[in-house]
Structure 1
């Protein structure tokens, strides 16, 4: 079974203090403990520990605390492609063949002005570049350089309705092994992280256009959370007041399968 092995020992203590024991239990699910993940008592345990993690992190870190940023000299020589290497759908293949010229990011839900943005539209907006460390729940870390549009700028352009509380990211990749029919990858974050200055919609990685393996044409970077929150192949952002009507109702593909919805580090 996989278990969490953060590279920074100082961060281990902080995360343990924040109740990361639940994340360790969630990591065990990757190793095949699916039967355990379905047990109501286990889900209650995860939920209670996750709630403590979320409340403590918000109390200690507030909404504007920055993740550490690095220099170009710190870039990792190899940044692992994890999860889906390329969505295996005809729709994505067609977009890829045209260099994503026909791709559009849809922003809708609880907004005043729904948006359909091309990659050129996003590139024309103010950009942010950041060099940060990606920490995977499987135990590996890597430092990479990301460039993209602050999510806050996109949501401001759409203008949120007062009821909006969460941003849900619908992605192009599908997990066909999900027998319950909830195999489309999705993820979500709250408005605190959505408007954080380091939360960006990245289209470049290490000074090159984002590769397919790393999530082309667009991926989420929410730097204060673990790697599985960094949704790749983003196609649509839906603003909503609740998460229980998506997938299995836990707010993301992996949270639906036992992981913490809030994966703060």
Structure 2
């Protein structure tokens, strides 16, 4: 196993139970209300369209709240993740919710090896997934390999402009500091926190991450025979990305408190695999 996979998987394995117990993921709410959808899926519901009956795979599914939501919309869904601890939480959630969801443990780059290539109507990826991958072209090749002709990719992700911002200067300035474009070397973080409310203490804190420019992502998909059918940038995101600069605006979404038109925080992208 490569060093980046080992470090990143240890980080996700340790944090998965804390994420499942946090109010941010709202596990109990999903169990109490069989019609409830995760905030991420609910945000894109108008763009996602009808998924009932579609054979779908959720790549980098983590603890499965978005996966369960797609199941509730009628998709025949499989979840894939490289973290066994995350999948344990996802399987427990599905079992408690009475949802028939298959989960597969694998690195996303191996998805076409462990799942049936060319058999999926929908490949779905949620927020905070692509930054863990060193090569966006390899990811696009996996997506294309999984999709049947006419099938589609649907993704909402943190905007690469957001990932390039350093808000820690202390002078109230949001500075473009980190790489916008993909670089061979990772951005190495050593951070004992996580993005949800928790009192848990963590010891696996070193991670390797990469940014990918929006043009790089689109070009990688076009190069694998997909056609771009939607690209919408949003001035909100479903977590507090820049504390002190962003404010909650409802439905679990945050945007810049001052002149939010300055910075895209997320985007939604859809692309369809050509039939020939």
Q: Report the TM-score, using the length of structure 1 for normalisation.
A: 0.24
Using structure 2 for the length normalisation, give the TM-score: 0.23
Higher relative contact order (CA 8 A, sep 6+): 1
